[in-house]
């Protein structure tokens, strides 16, 4: 186990390095800079600013400096929010994104697996067709269409839920009301994908011999489903969840925009627009690491679901 973790850690280093290099040089090659303001700065001031942030050095030297600081855990100051470090900004934005994405994924897995199993049990019956038509709709209607429509209905016409923002107070004290619409919007597409995947693999599993044996022994459908069929049927679903988490993360950029939530996605877009080199790099690296972590967790769960896959 320890060796596996260590190996994965080592393997992730080149991936992250490539990611850092691509992002770093892409940002620097782009026109514009962090000190482009409406009012032109005096040349001396700008020169001083550039020197203070080491922007006057040759590019490779800056890259080396960035990596060196990174290795010591220093991600540098934000260019845009002058008095805060990048790490502080991430610390304020990530909990919002995590809450949003985590809740959405949880709902997506629970609802998706239930609906998919139901459809598989009632294969080629109305319940199956209905569920699958719903799933196809969920896949085909983009979340940036669903989001505004939900706001229109539940916030503007009915007035049941707030249209956006984070809300006052903690989640327990009513802050959850602000999360209902964004989480639901974000979860919808994933529910649809997971339901389709579960249905497909569940149908295959239900056809296999060990399920037939269980039926012959007179076990109830519920017991067969939960005790025997669910685990093998979940394997393709789990291997989907890794990339899907990445999808949720990127999807949340749009959701955060629609619902005016101060998450990481928003920082990323404004950061890129303002050429906030350090902030953008941190967010990209952070998400890269997050994806690697998710893939690793998926592999672990995979090993638990299917002992044969353990080496």
Q: Where on the chain is the footprint of another protein (CB under 8 A)?
A: 12, 14-15, 18-19, 22-23, 26-27, 29-32, 136-137, 139-142, 144-145, 147-149, 152, 156, 204, 246, 249-250, 253-254, 257-258, 268-269, 272-273, 280, 283-284, 287-288, 291-292, 295
The Cα–Cα gap between 17 and 21 comes to 6
Torsion (CA) 15, 13, 71, 33 in degrees, nearest 10: 0
Q: Which is nearer to another protein, 32 or 174 (CB)?
A: 32
Q: Which is nearer to another protein, 69 or 250 (CB)?
A: 250
- The nearest distance, CB 42 to another protein, in angstroms, is 26
Q: Which is nearer to another protein, 47 or 156 (CB)?
A: 156
- The nearest distance, CB 217 to another protein, in angstroms, is 25
- The nearest distance, CB 61 to another protein, in angstroms, is 22
The Cα–Cα gap between 159 and 45 comes to 51
Q: At what angle do helices 143-150 and 176-206 cross, to 10 degrees?
A: 130
- The nearest distance, CB 151 to another protein, in angstroms, is 8
Distances (CA, A) of 244 to 16, 49, 119, 296: 20, 42, 22, 14
Q: Which is nearer to another protein, 93 or 288 (CB)?
A: 288
- The nearest distance, CB 250 to another protein, in angstroms, is 4
Q: Which is nearer to another protein, 109 or 280 (CB)?
A: 280
- The nearest distance, CB 123 to another protein, in angstroms, is 12
Q: Which is nearer to another protein, 237 or 282 (CB)?
A: 282
At residue 206, what are phi and psi to the nearest 5 degrees? -65, -20
Tokens read off for 105: 């994924």
- The nearest distance, CB 127 to another protein, in angstroms, is 17
Distances (CA, A) of 5 to 237, 290, 292: 23, 15, 12
Residue 93 in contact with residue 252, Cβ under 8 Å? Answer: no
Sequence-ordered list of residues with C-beta below 8 angstroms from that of 291, at least 6 positions apart, any chain:
242, 245, 246, 249
Q: 3-state SS of 39-106?
A: CCCCHHHHHHHHHHCCCCCCHHHHHHHHHHHHHCCCCCECCCCCCCEHHHHHHHHHHHHHHHHHHHHH
Q: Which is nearer to another protein, 75 or 268 (CB)?
A: 268
């Amino acid at each position: 186990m320890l060796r596996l973790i260590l190996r994965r850690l080592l393997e992730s280093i080149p991936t992250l390095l490539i990611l850092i290099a691509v992002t770093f040089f892409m940002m620097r090659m782009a026109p514009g800079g962090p000190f482009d303001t409406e009012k032109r700065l005096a040349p001396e001031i700008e020169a001083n600013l550039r020197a203070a942030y080491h922007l006057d050095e040759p590019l490779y030297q800056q890259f080396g400096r960035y990596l060196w600081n990174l290795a010591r855990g220093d991600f540098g100051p934000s260019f845009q929010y002058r008095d805060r470090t990048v790490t502080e900004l991430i610390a304020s934005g990530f909990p919002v994104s995590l809450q949003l994405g985590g809740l959405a994924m949880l709902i997506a897995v629970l609802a998706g697996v239930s609906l998919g199993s139901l459809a598989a049990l009632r294969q080629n019956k109305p319940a199956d067709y209905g569920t699958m038509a719903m799933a196809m709709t969920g896949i085909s209607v983009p979340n940036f269409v669903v989001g505004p429509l939900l706001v229109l209905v539940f916030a503007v016409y009915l007035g049941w839920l707030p249209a956006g923002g984070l809300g006052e107070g903690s989640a327990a004290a009513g802050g959850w009301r602000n999360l209902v619409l964004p989480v639901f919007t974000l979860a919808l597409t994933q529910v649809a994908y997971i339901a389709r995947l579960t249905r497909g693999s569940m149908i295959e599993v239900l056809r296999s011999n060990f399920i037939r044996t269980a039926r012959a022994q007179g076990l109830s459908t519920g017991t067969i489903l939960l005790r025997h069929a669910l685990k093998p049927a979940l394997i393709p679903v789990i291997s989907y969840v890794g990339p899907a988490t990445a999808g949720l993360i990127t999807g949340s950029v749009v959701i955060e925009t629609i619902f005016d939530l101060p998450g990481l996605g928003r920082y990323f877009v404004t950061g890129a627009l303002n050429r906030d080199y350090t902030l953008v790099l941190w967010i990209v690296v952070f998400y890269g690491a997050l994806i690697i972590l998710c893939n690793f967790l998926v592999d672990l769960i995979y090993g638990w679901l299917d002992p044969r896959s353990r080496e």
